Amino acid sequence: MADALRELVAVMDRLRSPGGCPWDAAQTHVTLLPYLLEEAYETIEAVELDDSVALREELGDLLLQVVFHARIAAERPAPDGFDLDDVAAGITAKLVRRHPHVFAEAPTPAQGADADAAWFALKSAEKGRTSVTDGVPMALPALTLATKLRHRAQAGGVPVPLAGDLPATLAADALVCLGDDEAALAELLMALVVVADERGWDAEGVARGAARAFRDRVVAAEVVGTAEFGDD
C-alpha cells in the first residue's frame, strides 16, 4: 500500500477510535449513503467539466468514502468484517478473473462485442444470475437505468421492442429528425420534461416506471426463449 494511502487509513482509524471525532465515530454504512451519492455526482461533474483540479479533489472525497466504509466494516466480528486490504484484494482478483484474454497462461485477444459477451458470461456464471437484468441497481437515475437495462438485454441477446406502436413510431420519427445532432436530443429531452411538468407528471418517476416495465419485458422474453430453445 502506498504511503499516502496508509496515512489516509491511519487518519480514519484515529477518527473512529476512542478520543477521535464523535461525528465520525457515530457514522454507519446507512448514514454515509447520502455522502457517497453526493461525492459520486460531484466526481461526474468534474469529469463532464474536464476540470482536472476538481477531479483530483473529488476522487479523494470518493476514496474517503471507500476508506470510511471499509473502516466501519473492519469493526465487525468475523466472518462479516473486512478491511481496505480485503476490498483491494477482492477487486484485484475479480479483474484478473474476468480478463482471461489478458491474464490467462495463453491469453487470446478479445475485442469489441466478443470481449463484452465474454465479460457478461463470466459475471453471470460467478453471480449465479438467471436473467440479464439481475444485478442492475433499480435505484439508478431513470435514464441511466433505462440505458443499463437496454445494454444488458443487448449483451444477453434478448431482443425486446418498445411497448406498443406509438412509442416505436415516435422513436423512429425522432431518429430521422435528430440525425446525429446530440444537442437536438438534449433539447427534445428538456422539452419532454417541460411538457410533463406542465401536466403535473413526475418525469423521473414516469421514466423509471418505463424502465421497470422494460425490465419485465426482458425477463418475460427470457422465459419464452428458455421454453422454446431449452437450456442447451
Q: Domain extents for the chain?
A: 3-96, 98-127, 142-229
Q: What is the pLDDT of residues 129-163, one digit of tens each?
A: 778 888 888 888 999 999 999 988 888 888 887 77
Q: Which three cell numbers stand for residue 87?
A: 476490498
Q: Which three cell numbers stand for residue 55?
A: 477531479
204 versus 226: the higher-pLDDT residue is 204
C-beta of residue 149 within 8 angstroms of C-beta of residue 214: yes
pLDDT at site 2: 79
Q: What is the pLDDT of residues 12-36, one digit of tens each?
A: 999 999 999 999 999 999 999 999 9
| Alpha carbons 43 and 26: distance in angstroms, whole number | 26
Given a cut of 80, whether residue 227 has pLDDT beyond it is no
pLDDT at site 232: 36
Angle at 39 between CA 184 and CA 92, to 5 degrees: 100
DSSP, res 140: S
Average pLDDT, the chain: 87
pLDDT bin (cut points 50, 70, 90) of residue 228 is: very low
Asked whether the whole model's pTM tops 0.75, one would answer no
Helix axes 112-127, 142-155, angle to 10 degrees: 100
C-beta of residue 196 within 8 angstroms of C-beta of residue 202: yes
> 98: buried, middle or exposed (CB in 10 Å: 19+, 13-18, 0-12)?
middle
* CATH superfamily placement of domain 3-96: MazG-like (1.10.287.1080)
User: What SS3 class is residue 33?
Assistant: helix
pLDDT bin (cut points 50, 70, 90) of residue 72 is: very high
pLDDT bin (cut points 50, 70, 90) of residue 166 is: confident
Percent of all residues in the chain with a pLDDT value above 90, rounded to a whole number? 57
pLDDT at site 124: 64
Give the alpha-carbon dihedral of 83, 89, 91, 95, to 10 degrees: 180
